[in-house]
Amino acid sequence: MPSWVDGQPLEWLPVKDRGLAYGDGLFETIAVNGGNPALLERHLTRLGEGCARLQIDLDLALVRAELLAFSRELGDGVAKLIVTRGDGLRGYAPPQPGLPRRILQGSGKPAYPAGNAELGVRLFPCATRLAEQPLLAGIKHLNRLEQVLARAEWQDAEHAEGLMLDVSGRVIEGVYSNLFLVKDGVLLTPDLARCGVAGVMRAELLAQAQAQGIRCDVRDIGVDALLQADEVFLCNSLYGVWPVRALQRHRWSVGPLTRKLQLIARDLLDS
Of the candidates 29, 84, 189, 258, the residue annotated as catalytic is 29
What number of H helices and E strands is found in the chain? 8, 15
Residues 45-77 as b/e (b if ≥16 CB within 10 A, e otherwise) read ebbeebbeebebebeeeebbebbeebbeebeeb
**Known catalytic residue: 140?**
yes
Neighbours of 6 (CB within 10 A): 14
**Closest listed residue to residue 188, CA positions, set 255, 251, 139:** 255
Question: How big is the chain, counted in residues?
Answer: 271
Q: SS3 helix, strand, coil % of the chain, rounded to 5?
A: 30, 30, 40
Q: Is 29 a catalytic residue?
A: yes
66 catalytic? Reply is: no
Distance CA 87, CA 100 (A): 8
Instruction: State the CB neighbour count (10 A cutoff) for residue 220.
Output: 14
* The one catalytic residue among 161, 173, 204, 231: 173
Q: What is the Cα–Cα distance from 162 to 186, expressed in whole angstroms? A: 24
d(CA 238, CA 30): 7
Q: From the candidates 140, 189, 204, 258, which is the catalytic residue?
A: 140
Q: Which residues are catalytic, by number? A: 29, 140, 173
